[in-house]
Amino acid sequence: MTKLLFGVSDTEECRRAIKTIIRLFGHRQGVELTLLHVTPEVLVYAESGIVDYGTIESMEKEKSNEILDAFEKTFKDEGITCQKILKTGNPIDVVLEIADRYDLLVIGASESSLLHRIFNSHQNSFINSSPIPVLVAK
């Protein structure tokens, strides 16, 4: 049994990685696919006024579930079943916490803009820190 962990985010690069997963692992026996989406922790600052933390957290969870459901539907349409995991925290920490249960981590290539790569890319952190092989799909 080959266990794949696919780090899902709401980016075009991540959506393009779906095709790679389907092409390489799609209709093979003994492949188990898990979709993981990590939401950042909700921070509420005092200066922001009166805010209902529960409402903000609920909205983030709903948005994250919609992302997972959309990816799951795409795979289901191709005849591929998958499990879904939704966690809160730092994406790198969460992935590293559960990665040893899987054989391969699949992530979408970082966005192509230079500013995004400098300030917001987790790709290198995943590659350098992962205890399992990482497939960066374009």
How far apart CA 90 and CA 114 sit, in angstroms, is 22
What's the CATH code of the domain at 37? 3.40.50.620
Lowest-pLDDT range, 54-58, 100-104, 118-122?
118-122
How far apart CA 39 and CA 116 sit, in angstroms, is 18
Q: Which two tokens stand for residue 138?
A: 């374009």
Residue pointed to by tokens 């699949």: 106
Predicted TM-score (pTM) of the model is: 0.84
Q: Tally the domains of the chain.
A: 1
The domain containing residue 84 runs over which residues?
2-137
Give me the chain's average pLDDT, please. Answer: 84
Q: Which two tokens stand for residue 65?
A: 């579930």
Condensed to tens digits (0 to 9), the pLDDT of residues 104-128 reads 999 888 765 444 444 445 667 778 8
What's the pLDDT band for 41 if we cut at 50, 70, 90? confident
Maximum mean pLDDT: which of 10-14, 100-104, 115-119: 100-104
